[in-house]
Structure 1
């Protein structure tokens, strides 16, 4: 009887993470939104860790794009070189995807790119918070793009914007079916736009936390450190690539609003 009770207690301890000296880590705790002051509930106007790191991202953008270029010179400083590189890269992207007509929306697009890329990279700092790993943030960004380009499409083109859903080059019998598919895919845009960004960042950060938890075991510690280093390098690439993907998809959606005809 005593043996059965001991076995049951051992199984219970293992099921709860082995709190008595076992390996315990919670990779999703890093995504918890917490009040910056006090320990109360998070409300609509509560200043949280998300608020703090969004503010830091904004200050970083201002430092690079405003202060970094305040002393423009023929031989640029490092900050000026980076600012000019980012400016030229996004400008060329907008021009190539949307055409000259889309350049009037360039300020919004480069602001969107800079906010995402700064938030992504700041999230790689130990003990920081990755605001773009939260759907509450990425959904708002994606909905702003979706609502904006949809409204622009109707303002610029009127009813002819609906031709975006009518594939005139397809056989007549297939056009109604394709129209339904196009409508569904259009309204799925903000979902995929937001989930792609948040999901990739959340998954990468969670994996790093898991490897960091295993680093506490002396047997696998060297392998864990190698894995963390490799994952961290991958996350640096993901941080930049996901900002690029979000931005270029915004340009594609803008192009559809400006030129909706198939």
Structure 2
């Protein structure tokens, strides 16, 4: 019984094909539909339904419409505060990015295991968060070169830098700039992965304590369960904070491209 109760904390992050991996080769790459792709699709559908339900344009907005407008206004204010009036044109992208990450994080925390459905938090994979970061970074580069041309390279040499410091400052600024997509994706990936690993470890304590007898159940199982509840509440907060941080940093990076300093 003790051996059966062991829990692998990393198993929850395993990407598995839902219909097998045979005969799903294209140009040497396996394109089988996986659990990660499924939850990306579910998140996209939920986000689309959420936005669609808030587009009724009623004179007296209902709760759904008000919720969508609140989130939209929140993103609009954030962009205006960090970019200025020019930030308004980025509202659709940053809003979609923020809500997609938020819903992905929240759906991954839903206790659907009680009905036999195991949610998959795809934001706990660096391949996913890295792609989201590269998307934002690509927009920054596109805006910077389209709006400023080669003058965009002046971003790597802050105004007022002495000429004799330029050979030192410019490479440091360039490296710092190029590391941005890596750090942006890594921050979200680490935060979501760490929280889920901790919850899985605590759940193993609850299972092991219950299987070991009443004494261990009271001494280990119950305290672990209480701690799990607290960690779950904290993870809900982290899910929102990480979505906000990702959107905020995206806004700050776009600001560098829009308004060269």
Instruction: Note whether the superposition's TM-score is higher than 0.5.
Output: yes
Identify the residue that residue 52 of structure 1 maps to in structure 2.
38
Identify the residue that residue 58 of structure 2 maps to in structure 1.
73
Q: Which of 142, 151, 155 is 1:164 aligned to? A: 155
Query: Within 5 Å, which residues of 2 pair with 1:112-191?
Result: 112-126=97-111, 127-191=118-182
Q: CA deviation at 1:146?
A: 1.0
User: Are the aligned partners of 2:21 and 2:32 in contact in 1 as well (CA < 8 Å)?
Assistant: no
> How many residue pairs are counted as aligned between the two chains?
242
Name the SS for the 2:228 alignment partner: helix
CA distance in 2, matches of 1:250, 1:129: 25
CA distance in 2, matches of 1:101, 1:257: 11
Q: CA deviation at 1:260?
A: 1.7
CA distance in 2, matches of 1:174, 1:110: 40
Identify the residue that residue 61 of structure 1 maps to in structure 2.
47
Please say if 1:194 is aligned against 2:185.
Answer: yes
- Unaligned 5+ runs, structure 2: 112-117, 210-216
Q: CA deviation at 1:158?
A: 0.8
Distance 1:173 1:125, change over 3 A: same
CA distance in 2, matches of 1:152, 1:184: 19
CA distance in 1, matches of 2:3, 2:36: 33
Q: CA deviation at 1:25?
A: 1.4
Please say if 1:26 is aligned against 2:17.
Answer: no
User: Are the aligned partners of 1:168 and 1:175 in contact in 2 as well (CA < 8 Å)?
Assistant: no
Larger Rg: 1
- Unaligned 5+ runs, structure 1: 1-18
TM-superposition CA deviations, 1:200-238 (whole Å, max 9, x none):
000000000000000020130111111101110110011
Identify the residue that residue 72 of structure 2 maps to in structure 1.
87
Please say if 1:99 is aligned against 2:84.
Answer: yes
* More deviation, 96-105/135-144: 96-105
Identify the residue that residue 37 of structure 1 maps to in structure 2.
19
TM-superposition CA deviations, 1:39-96 (whole Å, max 9, x none):
65985421111111111111111111112333x3233222112101101000111111
Q: CA deviation at 1:23?
A: 5.7
Name the SS for the 1:169 alignment partner: coil
User: Are the aligned partners of 1:54 and 1:119 in contact in 2 as well (CA < 8 Å)?
Assistant: yes
Identify the residue that residue 241 of structure 1 maps to in structure 2.
241
Identify the residue that residue 257 of structure 1 maps to in structure 2.
257
CA distance in 2, matches of 1:181, 1:123: 38
CA distance in 1, matches of 2:159, 2:64: 49
User: Are the aligned partners of 1:57 and 1:119 in contact in 2 as well (CA < 8 Å)?
Assistant: yes
